[in-house]
Amino acid sequence: MQAFEGIRVLDLTHVLAGPFTSYQLAVLGADVIKIEAVDRPDMNREIGPIADLNDAMRGSHFQCQAGNKRAMTLNLKTDSGKEIFEALAKDADVIVENYRSGAMDRLGLGFEDIRAINPGIVYCSLTGFGNSGPKRGHAAFDNVIQAYSGLMAATGDPGNPYQVGPPVLDYGTGAQAAFAIASALFRRERCGEGQHIDIAMLDAALMFMTSNAVNYSLTGWAPVPPGNRGGGGGPFAGYGWYDAADTLLAIGVVTPAQHVRMWQLFGREDLAEEARGMRMKDMETNRARDEALLTDIVKTKTADEWEALFNEAGLPAARMRSLDEALSSDQVASRGVLGDPLPTQADSDHMTPTVAAFVCSEDGPSVTRPAPSLGQDTDVILQDLGYDPRAIAALREAGVV
């Protein structure tokens, strides 16, 4: 039995962070019903590199986080639409929405409204800045929060900050939200009460910069873009990127014991002896010297050669790989992060979904159903609520579904 089997989730989200939240629950067995506006479906249905899929409202950006879900259309601005949503909410366990602050309250479908008919509801609201503060209600996307949070200012080259490439804050916020929902469901098992979860992308971003934020509180120093030589904020050589004979090599030598093994690998027993007994603070003394030595030594072999030598010595190192190299590697194949290919429902195309970043010994995450088409399950869901075909046809004629 998967962790969330028997849990019903009403998914009122769009774009990335919200859908990724409910996807975490869907891969572990939750019955997730994605509810989209009749005239404004999730914009991600039209985003992706394959035009035919986008035109068919099945863009890859949508499909990659909609597996295992069911889908219905519903106009929440109509009385009938609200009535249907309330009927679904009465028996739901979780509601996830990522509209602007207060939007669901204005519809009469906010947390307090739903709690009145379902005291056990776990109601999760995702926004850019949260439901409090002067930025409450301001729209945001991943890049906006990267700029506002200080993440972008701490990334890139000195004097030239970069946006982190993939939308890490969208996905990271979704993962945080899923954890919060799981925590709220666990609490409900103990006390019987539901609750409202208010999660902001800004707050998630600051959690991902925990050490930076805490260090600032102690010193008043904010990180600046370190480039590839920055050592991740560490005061010593051996943690960063170095030019091998062919391409970049990432080295993660941090502890004094690791420095001993690294210098032994390089045939520098004198420096290995020097590193013995050092504390972390002592390694800053010779940083400039060590950086110069590392730079010269790493250039003498290819990145693959160094990766093999470092790993054999029990030291972290990796050649910079492209995404296609990573996805086709034996290491990734040995894990469960990639699922079985699923049909895209466009000719014979198939796509391989990412499933989860963990493997469970029993009843772990899986994706067995492809992303649904727009409104694919509307009729079945309405029938389960007691609507007959004639009533469903009338709802469709009125633009409710």
The full DSSP string for 92-149 is -SEEEE-SSTTHHHHTT-SHHHHHTT-TT-EEEEEESS-SSSTTTT----HHHHHHHH
pLDDT at 249 over 50: yes
Task: At 222, list the tokens.
Answer: 């904010």
pLDDT at 276 over 60: yes
Residue 233 banded pLDDT, cuts 50, 70, 90: very low
pLDDT at 330 over 90: yes
pLDDT at 232 over 60: no
The full DSSP string for 205-245 is HHHHTHHHHHHHHHH-PPP---GGGSGGG-SSTTEEEEE-S
SS3 at position 11 = strand
Lowest mean per-residue pLDDT among 12-16, 130-134, 232-236, 305-309: 232-236
Task: Read off the pLDDT of each residue in 341-348 and give the average, rounded to a whole number.
Answer: 75
What is the DSSP pairing of strand 342-343 with strand 350-351?
Answer: antiparallel
68 closest CA partner among 375, 380, 368, 364: 368
Residue 231 banded pLDDT, cuts 50, 70, 90: very low
User: Which residues, listed in sequence order, are joined to residue 34 by a DSSP beta bridge?
Assistant: 11, 71
The mean predicted confidence, pLDDT, of the chain is 95
Q: Residue 375: what pLDDT? A: 98
Element (H, E) at 288: helix 287-298
Q: Which tens digits make up the pLDDT trace of 40-81?
A: 999 999 999 999 999 999 999 999 999 999 999 999 999 999
SS3 at position 251 = strand
Lowest mean per-residue pLDDT among 18-27, 125-134, 271-280, 380-389: 271-280
The winner for highest mean pLDDT among 105-119, 153-167, 344-358 is 105-119
pLDDT at 295 over 70: yes
Q: Which tens digits make up the pLDDT trace of 99-133?
A: 999 999 999 999 999 999 999 999 999 999 999 99
Q: How far apart are CA 297 and CA 108, in angstroms?
A: 66
Surface-to-core class of residue 241, CB atoms within 10 Å of its CB (0-12 exposed, 13-18 middle, 19+ buried): middle
What is the DSSP pairing of strand 160-161 with strand 156-157?
Answer: antiparallel
Q: Which domains does the chain possess? A: 8-208+335-397 (3.40.50.10540), 228-243+248-319 (3.30.1540)
Q: Which residue has the tokens 């939750």?
A: 30
What is the DSSP pairing of strand 248-252 with strand 94-97?
Answer: unpaired
Q: What share of the chain is helix, strand, coil (3-state, %, to 5)?
A: 45, 15, 45
Q: Residue 346: what pLDDT? A: 63
